[in-house]
Structure 1
Amino acid sequence: IWETPETVLTFNPAWTYKYLFILPPHPNAKPMCLICIECIAVFKDYNVRRNHIEKHQTFHTNFPKGSQERVAKVQSLIPERATAASLRVSWILAKKKRPFTDSETVKDCMLAVVDEVINDDKIKTSVASAIKNVPLSDTSNIRRVEILAADVYETLLGDLMKADTMSIAVDESTDKTDTAQLCIYVRFFDSKCFREELLCLLPLEGHTTGNIVFGKISIFFKDNGLDMMHVCMLVTDGAPSMTGKVNGLAARWSTVAPQLISLHCIVHQAVLCAKLSGALKTTMDNVMAFIRSTSSLQHRLFCMLLSEMSAEHHDLLLPNDVKWLSKGKALERFSSKKKAETHLSRILDDNFMADACFLSDIFKHLNDLNLALQGRDKTAIDLVEQMCTFPVKLDLFATDLSIGRMLHFPPPRKCISSPAQITDVMTDFIARLKMNFAGRLDGLVLPTEVAIFVRDPFTVAIEGDLSARLCTNGPAMFWTDVNVHQFPNIKKVAIVMLSMFGSTCESSFSHMNSIISNSRCSLTDRTLHQCLRIALTSYEPKVTALVQNKKCHFSH
């Protein structure tokens, strides 16, 4: 509402039944259409009428003016705004992995904000009344999450059925309730962009053999109208149930889709390559034993020491057993505490510290490799690139050690005072690491030359504009924009390569553990699946369509 020298423009309540416009109960609100949820800027009958006639011509035919049907329809549309609001709140809370009961807290917060920031009592009462009418109970929130998850899943299935090819990543883990969960990701091209989505979360009861896993996946594909023949690559975590030559998941899937390329996740391979033995294993065991110390007094004294000397880390932060992927950070923190010489007798041993610092750096390089292949949009092309570059790095590290420069090992350079401390154990470890790395990657069946071409198609002939677009946008965006009619075969090959996963290491299990907190351990597998889908998806729900189709009208 505003005032001009001639007149005051206000909302006419008759517009609600005449043109299906309402004025939302908040300051500076504009007339909003109940059908399309669009607002107009001008409070004039002409503007409201024109919007209604241009966009909703059939409404007047289906619901004539003055009819009871029209009155009933308008009255049903008004509460739909509150339903849409509750859907959006449920979506945000699920994306943030919040408990269902937080929806009631959100309503209390909104009412508190309104009470503080709005001075006009009439407007305050109106806005507070509208907020109170929004259904935000915990039971309502559960149902809305179910509907929202089903909506984005329906969109995903629709896109998958149109896709010519897809890549599947399978990983198994155990949640906080000790239930084995099989997480299946899918990557595909939806004609506009490449998408990575959670396809499903399958709970596994009892044994988790390759035959059982394959049977569950087969049933899922059949029930949802998906074709297993369209899967071009299967990436697994390398467990025996996945890689068995006869009854492994990859072998069983190959009987259905002979063209399938199966890949043992390189992140797990790189970690396996770093197995220790001999003196270095002893060093690692001693470091891990120190970190896992069960003496609370020793731990408190150590933390006090670090705090008093203003150390970068005030704790080692790893009080329990450490997985391989975390040992690099553990060693890095341990090797940085050399100032604690009077309290930690083992650190006085120069040879021990030289080995610890060496391991710290090696695991840091392995962690960098792991991180380079983790997260969204990491494809088989990234895998090929790392396969080509990491062995070269290992050669460089070996040369660096052999001549005693230690340019690529900053922490060891601080601990090693003479070249004599660069032992054969270190050089042998680099050599064995390279050998193991090469041996484990030799079995990968990937078209390396094709992957290199997709990464940079202008290695032979460069065309200025296209080359600049490739450098700016990357391969995925570049091949998305390539004209399919001009380069049909090349684009098809590129789409297949860019649809391939390079790793199974996704964040789904960390999200899962965030959802199943100690206070939410009673969640059913179905509800966990729905919460996880919303937390991980890149799709947006069709809130307006859900409300208009009466799919989420609950009494509370």
Structure 2
Amino acid sequence: MKRHLQTKHPDHAQKTKDFFQRKEKDLQGQKQVITQRTTTPAKAQTASYAVAYLIAQRKEAHTIGEDLIKPAAVAMCRAMHGEKVAGDLDTIPLSNDTVRRRIHDIADDIRCQLIERVKNVRYALQIDESTDISNSAQLLVFIRYSFDGRLHEDMLFCSTLEGTCTGDAIFTELDSKLREMGLLWDQCVGVCIGGAGAMLGERKGLRGKIMQVASNVNFAHCIIHREALASEALVPELNSVLETAIKIVNFIKSQPLNARLFAILCKDMGSDYEALLLHTEARWFSRGKVLTHLYQVRYEVRLFLLECGSTLSVHLCDSIWLAKLAYLASIYEKLNELNLSIQGPNTNILTKSDKVNAFRRKLERWAVRYEEGNVEMFPLLEEFVEENELHACLDNMRGAIAIHLRSLFNHFKKYFKEETTPQQHDWIQQPFTATGSHLPSDLENALLELSSDGTLRMKFESTTLDKFWISVAEEYPGLSKTAMNHRPKAGDAVLQEANPYFPSIMLSKELSLECELEDVEELLDQEPGELTNEELIELEEERMAEEKTVIDKNTWLKLNLQKPATDVFTHRF
């Protein structure tokens, strides 16, 4: 080193020791500065992931982090806490590419967590295939499983189907994805499917393919889909009113100038609404909302149509037509309320069945009361009749409305057949009040012991049904397993979903299920020549209704809109 100093640095050969110590200290300080400038602090990394997650949840462009969020945060901190804190925020990486990478990392981590959760437990699948707005066939699969003492539901994957959407193609894609994730068919205890032939067929449909590899799987059918089919039928008089209402809406909404002029008119008249809603058959709530909206701005619409010289204004001057419109708005609002009541978390399939049966009984009573001249169950119709003193007009449309109510009742009876012995499931919903005399003696004894436990009674009153039966699995394993695994005999119309351990009770996310499939399966498995005209029409109606159902991707696409759908996963933390 001395030779190197004398030959390479002769100018410093005579320097003292203190000189070299100062140089060493300066060098170490420079290294520290370089490290601080090139290494992102751990807190800044954490903040970067948190902001990227929020951007993905709100489906914003990735550039918003660098263009808006960071400058706004820095400006606020500079105003409130000074330059030092603002400078710390400026170190958070939020560029477009960084946000994209963060979202990819979050999605991959969520997928790994989900797979680890369900690898060693039994699970149920919820499957639907639909065509999106870009004409791509999307296979969407949700998984339901038990974790940490309660049931969870998460999106397992979304995959684009290439070519045809047959039962074989759907099963091939589904099977390959499950194998890729390391999930076994032996652990699958339930599958929820739609009403299309590609799903239901026992020979060539998805159901038949799954039964070949997992014969113990319980299948269920979407109840909300059947509720929508049951409400499709209208008598000609009421159908004419609906079609005319749609024409009126389209006359205003389809032309931008008309829409703007109508908004000005509504504003000048002090209306609650300044626009109408477009009707679409693909959305189940559409009829009720469109008709209610139109009825509430009927005066404004009539005036607008008269100013435009449209012949459609004649209908809005007809009291009978307006009364029928009020009835349709009321009855579809009732159907929308039923639809919402059988959705959502913390519900089970038995209560959904009760709500459908209660609505069916209401329809029967409404028909009788309407024939007696009572319309108080339809608020808009009652309001219209009272305001215009049109009690006599009820006689002119009594036949059409009564026929529609009874037709609706018959359609609900067709799609939701009554259970022959509904009381046999009472002990599942009310284990502390119902009897289990039909159960085997050992289970009946266990039920008597459970119903005498005051602590469990308090727990039952403060928790959901699925959590309660999962919580008593260790103390009453046989009773818990029977309650949750119970499946009614063929021909019963008990509504049922599948869950990881016990395929009888399941929470509902967007869809509920109905397990009365035998009549549809028989038709699907027959040769075409064996079907009657009525059966062919019925199958075609179900097929068309299924094709009209379009899944709104925004309900599940919560991560990275620029990322392929198969890599996007949602998760509740």
State the TM-score, normalized to the length of structure 1: 0.73
- Identical pairs, percent: 22
What is residue 488 of structure 1 aligned with on the other side? Answer: 477
Counterpart Cα distance in 1 of 2:73 and 2:352: 48
1:108 aligns to 2:97 (yes or no):
no
- Going from structure 1 to structure 2, the CA distance change for 1:314 and 1:408 (only over 3 Å counts) comes to same
Partner amino acid, structure 1, of 2:180: D
Letter of the 1:432 counterpart: S
Match of 1:434 among 409, 418, 435: 409
1:415 and 2:375 matched = no
Equivalent residue in structure 2 for 1:474, among 464, 469, 473: 464
Whether 1:160 aligns to 2:118 is yes
* 1:457 has 2:447 as partner: no
Determine the C-alpha separation between the residues in 1 that align with 2:279 and 2:231.
22
The answer (yes or no) to whether the contact 2:167–2:206 under 8 Å persists in 1 is yes
Alignment of 1:292 with 2:250, yes or no, is yes
Q: Name the stretch that deviates more: 342-351 or 402-411.
A: 342-351
* Partner SS, residue 162 of structure 1: coil
Q: How does 1:208-357 map to 2 (within 5 A)?
A: 208-275=165-232, 276-293=234-251, 294-318=254-278, 323-340=283-300, 341-342=302-303, 343=306, 344-357=313-326
Quickly say closer, same or farther: Cα 1:258–1:432, change in 2 above 3 A. farther
Distance 1:296 1:100, change over 3 A: closer
Q: Output the CA distance in 1 between the equivalents of 2:144 and 2:424.
A: 19
Does residue 96 of structure 2 align to residue 138 of structure 1?
Answer: yes
2: distance between equivalents of 1:160 and 1:184? 14
Residue 95 (1) aligns with residue 57 (2): yes
Q: 2:428 corresponds to which letter in structure 1?
A: V
The CA distance in 2 between the partners of 1:502 and 1:441, in whole Å, is 21
Equivalent residue, structure 1, for 2:3: none
Residue 273 of structure 1 contacts residue 437 of structure 1 at CA under 8 Å; is this kept in 2? yes
**Cα contact 2:143–2:156 (8 A) shared by 1:** yes
Amino acid in structure 1 at the alignment position of 2:99:
N
Q: Structure 1 pair 251/320, CA: closer, same or farther in 2 (3 Å)?
A: closer
- 1:102 to partner: Cα distance: 2.1
Tell me how far apart the structure 2 counterparts of residues 451 and 292 of structure 1 sit (CA, whole Å).
Answer: 49
Cα distance in 1 for residues equivalent to 2:342 and 2:282: 21
Tell me if structure 2 keeps the 8 A contact 1:235–1:503: no
Deviates more, 1:82-91 or 1:292-301: 292-301
Q: Pick closer, same or farther for the CA change 1:261–1:436 going to 2, 3 Å.
A: farther
Instruction: Specify whether residues 246 and 320 from structure 1 end up closer, same or farther in structure 2 by C-alpha distance, changes over 3 A only.
Output: closer
Alignment partner of 1:424 out of 399, 412, 415: 399
Q: Is the 8 A contact 1:335 1:360 kept in 2?
A: yes
Corresponding residue number in structure 2 for 1:84: 46
Alpha-carbon distance change, 260 to 441 in structure 1, aligned in 2, over 3 angstroms:
farther
Compute the displacement of 1:75 (Å): 12
Name which of structure 1's ranges 447-456 and 237-246 shifts more when overlaid on structure 2. Answer: 447-456
Of residues 402-411 and 228-237 in structure 1, the stretch that sits farther from structure 2 once superposed is 228-237
2:235–2:403 Cα contact (<8 Å) kept:
no
2:554 to 510, 513, 516: 510
Q: Give the number of the structure whose alpha-carbon radius of gyration is greater.
A: 2
State the number of aligned residues.
449
Counterparts of 1:198-213 in structure 2, within 5 Å, are 198-213=155-170
Looking at structure 2, the residues matched to 456 and 181 of structure 1 have their Cα atoms a distance apart, in angstroms, of: 40
How big is the shift at 1:270? 0.9
Counterpart contact for 1:232–1:500, Cα < 8 Å: no
Whether the aligned pair in 2 keeps the contact of 1:379 and 1:501 (CA below 8 Å) is yes
Whether the 8 Å contact between 2:125 and 2:190 is mirrored in structure 1 is yes
| Residue 367 (structure 1) aligned with residue 327 (structure 2) | no
Answer yes or no: is the 8 Å Cα contact 1:173–1:181 preserved in 2. Answer: yes
Whether 2:572 is the aligned partner of 1:538: answer yes
Instruction: State how far apart, in whole Å, the 2-side matches of 1:443 and 1:330 are.
Output: 32
Separation in structure 2 between the aligned mates of residue 163 and residue 154 of structure 1, nearest angstrom: 15
Q: Provide Cα deviations, 1:76-104, integer angstroms capped at 9, x if missing partner.
A: 99733322221222222222222222221
Asked if the contact 2:288–2:336 (Cα under 8 Å) also holds between the matched residues in 1, the reply is: yes
**Which of 329, 349, 352 does residue 380 from structure 1 map onto?**
349
Q: Which amino acid aligns with 2:478?
A: N
Asked if 2 retains the 8 angstrom alpha-carbon contact of 1:180 and 1:205, the reply is yes
- CA 1:437 to 1:155, structure 2 compared with 1: closer, same or farther past 3 Å? same
Aligned letter for 1:304?
Answer: I
Against the structure 1 CA distance between its residues 352 and 468, is the aligned structure 2 distance closer, same or farther, given a 3 Å change threshold?
farther
| 1:129–1:450 distance in 2 versus 1, CA, 3 Å | farther
In structure 1, runs of 5+ residues without a counterpart are: 1-72, 540-556
C-alpha distance after superposition, 1:396-452 (max 9, x if no partner): 2222212121121111123342241442221111112121122122399x9965654
Quote how far apart the aligned CAs of 1:319 are: 7.4
CA RMSD of aligned residues (A): 3.2
Specify the alignment match of 1:499 in structure 2.
506
Shift of 1:161: 1.7
